[in-house]
């Protein structure tokens, strides 16, 4: 049964997913209608990942009703060859309203090829949805339908440059797991749709249910939207310079070691000025900024696994609790304690 959209309330500062709007609870007995708009050639995990999150939430007490719709109401076949049945056409007058519209991705969307009727269905359903979200290349459908004009968005890292070039009014974040701009959400590649869906469940039903869902699906952790799609070492091209390559490996292997400019330059047998030039050329950052980024990621992992701020600061080389707090606020916009709270139950 379709439901009347709820009204948003202000997020609680420092709460888990504090950057997400906390939606008002659904009226007693009402259910939030979630519609997945699938289409011929959609990527299977883009469809099933979010649906598993919302169906698990419903099974565990969340008030969700789930439908899979297609542009013309016909059954479709995904990229994996799996056939999915449709609950109806996306352009139908019913439901008169829905809570969440989800749009999956497909490689052909990144090439500007949209299945017949898809964009009309996106516009029709989004006009009646409380919020609209895309998974991976589904952002291209939202953008082509005109929903993302002048907004922030993200997509799979392979396609962020294409999305930005094709839709110059967009502000594309090439690194985020997911991005929210008012009631529009876009997420990165494939599994990021699960992260986004967990965040949406938490916004609706609170952190306890979201963490129960994460445990049920054996998801190690709920990644916040601003977290990078890749770790610092993984997204840094391997430098051709032997000494610099060795330094990057040392920093990744032991973030807590002495990685001051003087120490790095001595180990590399280079002057500080020369080493700084090499870092800028090959990593796009100064040595200090690169080390801070690696230590921040290490600190995130320690906190997610339940370590205290004091232990985390010491084991990552950040130093003091206050230094850790400043780094988290500057780079992530949350305190270490708020970040740790996000994972307190999912990692048990």
List, by residue number, the catalytic residues.
136
Task: Report the SS3 class of residue 181.
Answer: strand
Q: CB-based contacts of 244: which residues, under 8 Å, 6+ apart? A: 268, 275, 278, 279, 282
Task: Report the SS3 class of residue 3.
Answer: coil
119 phi and psi angles, rounded to 5 deg: -65, -40
80 phi and psi angles, rounded to 5 deg: -85, 0
Which ranges in 91-191 belong to alpha helices (H)? Answer: 107-110, 118-128, 138-144, 160-166
116 pairs with which residues across the strands?
none
Distance CA 340, CA 300 (A): 8
Distance CA 320, CA 127 (A): 50
Q: What is the CA radius of gyration of the chain?
A: 22
Q: How far is CA 128 from CA 4, 39, 101, 189, 334, in A?
A: 10, 19, 9, 26, 33
DSSP E strand stretches across the chain: 8-9, 22-23, 32-37, 64-69, 76-77, 83-84, 98-103, 129-134, 152-153, 171-172, 178-181, 184-187
Q: How far is CA 14 from CA 21, 89, 336, 338, in A?
A: 13, 41, 10, 5
Q: Is the peptide bond before 51 cis (omega within 30 degrees of 0)?
A: no
User: If DSSP states are collapsed to H, E and C, what string results for 246-281?
Assistant: HHHHHHHHCCCCCCCHHHHHHHHCCCHHHHHHHHHH
């Amino acid at each position: 049964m379709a439901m009347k959209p709820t009204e948003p309330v202000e997020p609680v500062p420092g709460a888990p997913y504090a950057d997400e709007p906390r939606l008002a609870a659904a009226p007693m007995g009402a259910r939030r209608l979630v519609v997945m708009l699938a289409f011929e050639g959609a990527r299977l995990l883009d469809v099933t990942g979010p649906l598993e999150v919302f169906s698990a939430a419903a099974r565990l007490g969340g008030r969700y009703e789930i439908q899979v719709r297609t542009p013309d109401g016909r059954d479709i076949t995904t990229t994996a060859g799996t056939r999915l049945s449709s609950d109806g056409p996306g352009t139908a007058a019913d439901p008169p309203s829905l809570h969440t519209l989800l749009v999956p991705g497909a490689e052909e969307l990144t090439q500007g090829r949209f299945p017949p009727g898809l964009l009309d269905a996106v516009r029709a359903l989004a006009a009646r949805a409380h919020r609209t979200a895309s998974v991976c290349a589904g952002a291209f459908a939202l953008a082509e339908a005109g929903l993302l004009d002048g907004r922030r968005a993200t997509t799979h890292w392979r396609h962020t440059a294409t999305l930005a070039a094709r839709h110059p009014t967009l502000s594309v974040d090439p690194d985020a797991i997911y991005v929210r701009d008012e009631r529009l959400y876009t997420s990165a590649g494939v599994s990021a749709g699960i992260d986004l869906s967990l965040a949406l469940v938490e916004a609706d039903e609170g952190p306890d249910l979201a963490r129960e869902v994460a445990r049920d699906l054996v998801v190690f952790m709920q990644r916040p939207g601003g977290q990078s799609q890749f770790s610092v070492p993984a997204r840094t091209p391997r430098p051709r310079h032997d000494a610099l390559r060795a330094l990057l490996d040392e920093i990744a292997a032991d973030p807590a070691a002495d990685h001051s400019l003087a120490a790095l330059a001595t180990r590399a047998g280079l002057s500080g000025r020369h080493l700084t030039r090499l870092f800028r050329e090959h990593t796009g950052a100064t040595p200090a900024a690169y080390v801070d980024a690696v230590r921040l990621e290490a600190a995130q992992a320690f906190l997610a696994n339940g370590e205290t701020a004091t232990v985390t600061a010491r084991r990552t080389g950040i130093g003091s609790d206050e230094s850790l707090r400043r780094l988290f606020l500057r780079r992530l916009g949350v305190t270490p304690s708020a970040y740790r709270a996000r994972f307190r139950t999912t990692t048990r």
